[in-house]
Amino acid sequence: MSLLFSPLHLPSPRGGLTLSNRIVVAPMCQYSARNGEASDWHLMHWGNLLNSGAAMFTIEATAVLPEGRITPSCLGLWDARTEAALADKLQRARQLAPPLPVCIQLAHAGRKASSAVPWQGGQLLPAAQGGWETFGPSALPQLPNEPPPTELTLAQMAQIRDAFVAAAQRAARIGLEAVEIHGAHGYLLHEFLSPLANQRSDAYGGSFENRIRFPLEVFAAVRAAFDGVLGLRVSASDWVEGGWDVAQSAEFAKRLKTLGCDFIHVSSGGVSPQQKIALGAGYQVAMARAVRAASGLVTTAVGLITEAQQAEAILQAGDADLIALARAFLYEPRWGWHAAAALGGQVVANPVYWRCLPREAQTVFGKVSIGGR
């Protein structure tokens, strides 16, 4: 039997979730929010991917504070207004799809905040162009020609920790089953982990133990307040000599497990323009394998995984427990259906679509009748 189409249980204090297969839609920034509020674009985007055949859908990086947005157009969940907008669009999207667990990635962009959207260059925005003050563990800019972020005080760090907690509580209120804390891609929590971005001289900088302290504090605080499935996305390597690496990621994952982490999503890069990423099919899978072996956590592999047989092979080798895809789902929103057809699996789909399958793939929708007039 295909492992990709076998169920998986994700534990949590609430009792956990049983996913119908091992496919997850990874978080994908849409840069389509208005003052942090979800828009009609999100309604369309979410409704589309909730019908993808995946077992869980993850909402894009969602800022816990206004200054934590990557761009002025990024999604937020920091007050009653942003909560209401997200709840409205999500409820409407879920009415258009089969029952499916939804996860949200909670984030703070740190020194990479206040940036233009990618198709407008993605560079740091000055105040005159709608930008704002950025913050980081140290006053070190992302790019040499950028103004440095403001080094966070302990009081400001406590406010950010509390903002993650409040956002997780809002997520629970609107019915989200899972939360993924964003600790990757050069954003704030990754900045604390990496010695390339964190050169503090207090208890939160310097040694490995000090650099992991704040991310662990944030995770522990969210765990205490949120009883659904809770995980973290990590950049397992900075791809820069002397930076954060797989060995540190594995040890960090072990600490997360002791705090009640339910899964870890293994990515890489993003903290330094000096990174030299060896791109190729499944280029981050070996990192997922190492983190999984060391920690025993349910592990999600991601990154240039595009074919059903490739995803199946990763699971069969024991390299990961879940397969996350992002851009592949944008290109082919029914990727899960095609994977089921290729591997002999089954997915749940809205009956409106039952008659669309070619004859040779009609078992994809399971024991339902595809017939009719």
pLDDT tens for residues 281-334? 999 999 999 999 999 999 999 999 999 999 999 999 999 999 999 999 999 999
Take residue 188 and report the two structure tokens written for it. 């704030």
Q: Examine residue 81 and state whether it is found in any structural domain, yes or no.
A: yes
| Catalytic site residue from 187, 204, 283, 353 | 187
Q: Is 187 a catalytic residue?
A: yes
Q: According to the model, what pLDDT value does residue 201 have?
A: 97
Q: Are 21 and 7 in contact (CB under 8 A)?
A: yes
| Residue 366: per-residue pLDDT | 60
Q: How far apart are CA 152 and CA 155, in angstroms?
A: 8
Return the pLDDT at 359. Answer: 76
Backbone region of residue 269 per phi and psi (left: phi > 0; alpha: psi in -120 to 50; beta: other values):
left
Structural domain range at position 165: 8-345
Instruction: Examine residue 65 and state whether it is found in any structural domain, yes or no.
Output: yes
Please indicate, yes or no, if residue 144 is contained in any of the structural domains: yes
Number of separate domains in the chain: 1
- Tell whether 159 is covered by a domain: yes
Identify the CATH number of the domain in which residue 190 sits.
Answer: 3.20.20.70
Which pLDDT does position 352 carry in this prediction? 86
For residue 22, tell me if it sits in a domain: yes
Whether 206 maps to a domain, the answer reads yes
β-strands 23-25, 135-136: how paired? unpaired
Please report the pLDDT score of residue 56 as a whole number.
Answer: 98
Task: State the 10-residue block means of pLDDT for the chain, 373 residues long.
Answer: 96 94 98 98 97 97 98 98 98 94 98 97 94 98 95 98 98 98 98 98 98 98 98 98 98 98 98 95 97 98 97 98 97 95 90 81 56 32
284, 264 Cβ separation under 8 angstroms: no
Task: Kindly state whether residue 149 falls inside one of the protein's structural domains.
Answer: yes
pLDDT value at position 372?
32
To the question of pTM greater than 0.85 for the whole model, the response is yes
CA 21 to chain centre: 18
